[in-house]
């Protein structure tokens, strides 16, 4: 369903990283607590780690906006760029192509007492590096995991993504999506984009059968084969 008289416009090019769009939850509580205490970071360094879609990049943007730090990408790191005056938020920090560049960055930032916030899928102590000096510095970085998102967090994110596109499917459909889609922000975002486009193209309301057809490749096989669906993690399935 869509709000009466409203048009869907192609203005949703990608995720938004505003602080008001981030939802606090037990899975990210430790990370948020550390980000509020930048002066307490041991050696002025902190790493956020966890699987894709858990909000690491969002938190880097929030921290950089609040502190004035510069946002850098590990994949683009080469040689040693001029250090920014406030701090560095390094996303995909484990995607560096040159170990020496990362080592020089950590050394230079340490000498300048600049805070460095890194984000990666694994803690720095588990990154496969060959340089002994870099390995020792990575092992010394305090690493905070962002855990899997809770159902309440996924529900809130899904509701926001639907509202942004003026989509209003019944709560039972929203619950079905939360329970059966992969548990990540990226999966929810992709699902909402597809449902929006398909409902406009086919002039259909979003129902469970419609969503199962549109999102077939995102769902587990038993979710679209007509077999019994598993119960919700928080209670019975809503169909």
Predicted model pTM: 0.74
CATH class of 26-145: alpha beta
How far is the C-alpha of 161 from the C-alpha of 108, rounded, in Å?
Answer: 41
Torsion-angle region of residue 176: left (phi > 0), alpha (psi -120 to 50) or beta? alpha
Q: Range with the lowest mean pLDDT among 1-10, 106-115, 148-157, 185-194?
A: 1-10
Which pair of structure tokens corresponds to residue 190? 């992709």
Q: 86's torsion region: left (phi>0), alpha (psi -120 to 50) or beta?
A: alpha
Above 90 in pLDDT, residue 126? yes
Does residue 227 carry a pLDDT above 60?
Answer: no
With beta carbons less than 8 A apart as the criterion, state whether 49 and 28 touch.
Answer: no
Residue 221's pLDDT band (cuts 50, 70, 90) = low
**Structure tokens belonging to residue 209:** 């059968």
Distance CA 160, CA 158 (A): 5
How far is it, in rounded angstroms, from Cα 217 to Cα 190?
11
Domain ranges of the chain: 26-145, 150-223
From the CA atom positions of the chain, what is the Rg in Å?
21
Q: pLDDT digits over 100-121, tens only?
A: 999 999 999 999 999 999 999 9
For tokens 């250090």, name the residue: 83
CATH code that applies to domain 150-223: 1.10.8.60
d(CA 201, CA 209): 16
Q: How confident is the model at residue 137 (pLDDT cuts 50, 70, 90)?
A: very high
């Amino acid at each position: 369903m869509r709000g009466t008289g409203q048009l869907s416009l192609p203005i949703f090019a990608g995720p938004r990283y505003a602080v008001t769009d981030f939802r606090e939850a037990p899975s990210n509580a430790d990370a948020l607590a550390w980000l509020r205490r930048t002066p307490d970071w041991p050696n002025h360094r902190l790493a956020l780690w966890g699987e894709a879609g858990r909000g690491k990049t969002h938190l880097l943007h929030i921290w950089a906006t609040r502190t004035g730090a510069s946002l850098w990408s590990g994949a683009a790191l080469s040689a040693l760029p001029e250090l920014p005056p406030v701090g560095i938020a390094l996303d995909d920090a484990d995607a560096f192509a040159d170990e020496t560049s990362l080592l020089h960055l950590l050394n230079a930032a340490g000498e300048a007492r600049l805070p460095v916030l890194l984000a990666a899928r694994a803690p720095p102590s588990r990154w496969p590096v060959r340089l002994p000096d870099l390995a020792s510095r990575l092992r010394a970085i305090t690493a905070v995991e962002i855990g899997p998102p809770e159902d309440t967090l996924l529900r809130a994110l899904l509701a926001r993504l639907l509202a942004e596109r003026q989509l209003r499917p019944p709560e039972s459909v929203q619950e079905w999506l939360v329970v059966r889609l992969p548990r990540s922000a990226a999966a929810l975002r992709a699902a909402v984009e597809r449902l929006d486009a398909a409902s406009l193209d086919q002039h259909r309301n979003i129902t469970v059968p419609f969503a199962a057809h549109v999102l077939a490749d995102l769902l587990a096989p038993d979710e679209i084969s007509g077999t019994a669906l598993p119960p919700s993690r928080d209670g019975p399935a809503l169909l």
